[in-house]
């Protein structure tokens, strides 16, 4: 085989991230792109530091698996490469060294998640302490911004104080990591692009917060190509969007208007797996300037291959997942509980797949999966894949049935890509 291609930056082109936690999914991702790409650019190598830690894979392995898989499947187009959820300079070092081009900065550890609930007295007290992390405060205070969408952002004292308390340190961390990414790439003369993700917060990102965060990053010289706010409604892992899609679209219009006004940059949808019901709204609101990030859903499709070819192994994985779920779910936004999902005992093979993975045949047109059982398997990927028996057994099934894995992924992601294209 000849050398795999290098990854590139994708700029403002609509893009789709195909995270793969096992390293065998890219041929299926390529097949979906060939069938239903619709002008959307792929990011095949994509993995967060959290995923690499849990699966014990290196950045080099992630890169090699994705690029070799793409080459073997005959992909001749471009691909970006997403070093996802970076929190430290060391995270940048390990991913930049192996050719990642799209760097997702995640400053969520520095976000004050309680800021939205502070009463006035507490807010003022917290603001006094956070003041020095927000040197920008006075420059926004009392202003209002008219958005092309017709909405108005009121940068009132309260809005600016809450933004300072909630995001002051996070913006500082993002800017410093952005500078570090720039210095690493300038030294090598390599191109790069940055996404900022603030999606992993308890409360939705307000328009005022989005405006201040993005404006500060851009004023600080960050090469921001995309931003992932925490959108309204519930964006849980492994299931469709939960919430009012019309209200979401109205909110997306306003977030997209900010990105047009300040950037432009793309709006990014994290936990994008299976969010079929909201894709058209995202594509419409952003006029095609979007990035969608998926990962766990390819792992679940891998388990579908296991369910169909080795039922006994799938049953073990279900039980193992249930045993590890309460610990493994800690950093993920999910609502499933073991109590609400039947154990595998007494379920026949078809019902077991339906409860823990769900089948497209059972899902109405235009929406995605909703079964809570999916979240139990979704969160326990690290424990399962690093288990000395289960991990190799899963790989062995996938390696013995590559055509099944490619076909289920191609079908699965074609549905995602077509739903996005319907709004473009
Ligand atoms: O599990 C992870 O750490 C990542 O795959 C995700 O959080 C990623 O950023 C994502 O949103 C994929 O849907």
ipTM of the complex: 0.97
50 lines ligand 1 (CB under 6 A): yes
152-154/80-86 β-pairing: unpaired
Q: What is the per-residue pLDDT for 202?
A: 87
pLDDT of residue 3: 54
Residue nearest to atom 5 of ligand 1 (CA): 295
Query: Which of 270, 276, 292 most suits a substitution to test ligand 1, by most atoms within 8 Å of the C-beta?
Result: 270
Residues 6+ apart with CB under 8 A from 69: 20, 23, 24, 25, 26, 27, 29, 30, 44
Tell me how far apart the alpha carbons of residues 30 and 406 are, in angstroms, rounded to a whole number.
9
Per the listing, tokens 């800690």 go with 330
C-beta atoms surrounding 339 within 10 Å: 6
140 Cα–ligand 1 center, Å: 32
- The rounded distance, in Å, linking the Cα atoms of 79 and 322 is 36
Ligand 1 geometric centre to CA of 235 (Å): 12
Q: Are 368 and 239 in contact (CB under 8 A)?
A: yes
For the CA of 294, the closest atom of ligand 1 is: 13
Pick the closest to residue 231 from 264, 265, 276, 198 (CA basis). Answer: 198
Region 15-111+167-296: CATH code: 3.20.20.70
Active-site choice (20, 195, 215, 236): 195
CA–CA distance, 175 with 72 (Å, rounded to integer):
38
Q: What tokens were used for 39?
A: 């002008």
Q: Does the beta carbon of 49 sit less than 6 angstroms from any atom of ligand 1?
A: no
- Range(s) of the chain covered by CATH 3.20.20.70: 15-111+167-296
Output the CA 300–ligand 1 centroid distance in Å. 14
Q: Are 42 and 29 in contact (CB under 8 A)?
A: yes
Ligand 1, from 48, 54, 383: best to mutate by most atoms within 8 Å of Cβ?
48
Q: For ligand 1, is residue 298 a contact (CB within 6 Å)? A: no
- Looking at residue 1, its pLDDT comes to 45
In DSSP terms, 152 is beta-bridged to: 146
237 Cα: distance to centroid of ligand 1 (angstroms)? 8
| pLDDT score of 4 | 53
Closest to 50 (Cα-Cα) out of 328, 406, 256 = 328
189 CB burial (10 A radius; 0-12, 13-18, 19+) = exposed
- Ligand 1 touching residue 85 (CB < 6 A): yes
Residue 19 in contact with ligand 1 by CB distance below 6 A: yes
| Ligand 1 geometric centre to CA of 141 (Å) | 35
Query: Is 270 annotated among the ligand-binding residues?
Result: yes
* pLDDT of res. 107: 97
Rounded to the nearest 5 degrees, what angle is found at the Cα of 228, between the Cα atoms of 71 and 156? Answer: 165
Q: Which residues of the chain have pLDDT under 70?
A: 1-4
294 lines ligand 1 (CB under 6 A): yes
Q: Is 270 in the pocket of ligand 1 (CB under 6 A)?
A: yes
> What Å distances lie between residue 321 and 276, 317, 328, 379, CA to CA?
25, 6, 9, 8
CA dist., res. 198 & res. 85, Å (int): 10
Is 119 assigned a catalytic role? no
- By most ligand atoms within 8 Å of CB, the mutation choice from 15, 269, 293, 384 for ligand 1 is 293
Active-site residue flag, 110: no
Residue 38: name the closest of 298, 296, 294, 416 by CA: 416
* Alpha carbon nearest to ligand 1 atom 4, residue: 48
Tokens of 159: 């809005």
Contact predicate 394/302, CB 8 Å:
yes
Give the residue whose CA is nearest to atom 7 of ligand 1. Answer: 271
Question: In degrees rounded to 5, what are phi and psi of residue 111?
Answer: -80, 130
Compute the distance from residue 91 Cα to the ligand 1 centre, in Å.
15
Q: Which of these, 148, 177, 349, 354, lies nearest to 254 by C-alpha position? A: 148
Mention every residue, 6+ apart, whose C-beta is less than 8 A from residue 149: 253, 254, 256, 257
pLDDT tens track for 289-328: 999 999 999 999 999 999 999 999 999 999 999 999 999 9
């Amino acid at each position: 085989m000849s050398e795999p291609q290098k990854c590139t930056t994708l700029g403002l082109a609509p893009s789709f991230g195909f995270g793969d936690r096992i390293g065998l999914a890219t041929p299926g991702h390529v097949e979906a792109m060939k069938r239903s790409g619709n002008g959307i650019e792929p990011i095949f190598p994509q993995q967060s530091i959290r995923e690499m830690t849990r699966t014990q894979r290196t950045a080099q392995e992630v890169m090699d698996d994705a690029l070799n898989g793409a080459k073997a499947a005959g992909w001749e187009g471009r691909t970006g490469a997403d070093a996802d959820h970076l929190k430290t300079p060391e995270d940048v070092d390990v991913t930049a060294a192996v050719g990642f081009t799209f760097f997702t900065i995640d400053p969520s550890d520095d976000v004050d998640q309680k800021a939205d609930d502070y009463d006035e007295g507490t807010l003022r007290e917290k603001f006094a302490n956070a003041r020095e992390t927000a040197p920008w405060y006075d420059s926004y205070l009392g202003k209002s911004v008219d958005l092309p969408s017709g909405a108005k952002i009121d940068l009132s004292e309260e809005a600016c104080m809450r933004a300072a308390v909630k995001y002051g340190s996070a913006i500082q961390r993002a800017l410093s990591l952005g500078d570090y990414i720039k210095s690493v790439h300038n030294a090598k003369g390599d191109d790069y692009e940055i996404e900022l993700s603030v999606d992993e917060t308890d409360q939705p990102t307000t328009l005022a917060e989005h405006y201040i965060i993005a404006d500060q990053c851009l004023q600080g010289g960050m090469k921001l190509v995309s931003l992932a706010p925490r959108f309204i409604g519930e964006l849980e892992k492994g299931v469709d969007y939960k919430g009012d899609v019309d209200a979401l679209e109205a909110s997306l219009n306003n977030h997209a208007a900010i990105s047009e006004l300040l950037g432009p940059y793309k709006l990014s949808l994290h936990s994008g797996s299976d969010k079929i019901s909201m894709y058209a709204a995202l594509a419409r609101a952003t006029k095609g300037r979007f990035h969608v990030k998926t990962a766990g859903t390819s792992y679940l499709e891998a388990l579908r291959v296991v369910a169909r070819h080795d039922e006994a192994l799938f049953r073990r994985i279900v039980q193992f997942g249930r045993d590890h779920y309460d610990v493994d779910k800690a950093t993920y936004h999910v609502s499933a509980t073991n109590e609400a999902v039947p154990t595998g005992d007494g379920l026949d093979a078809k019902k077991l797949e339906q409860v823990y993975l769900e089948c497209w045949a059972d899902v109405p047109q235009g929406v995605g999966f909703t079964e809570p059982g999916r979240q139990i398997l979704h969160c326990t990927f690290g424990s399962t894949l690093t288990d000395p028996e289960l991990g190799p057994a899963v790989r062995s099934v996938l390696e013995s049935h590559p055509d099944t894995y490619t076909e289920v992924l191609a079908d699965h992601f074609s549905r995602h890509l077509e739903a996005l294209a319907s709004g473009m």
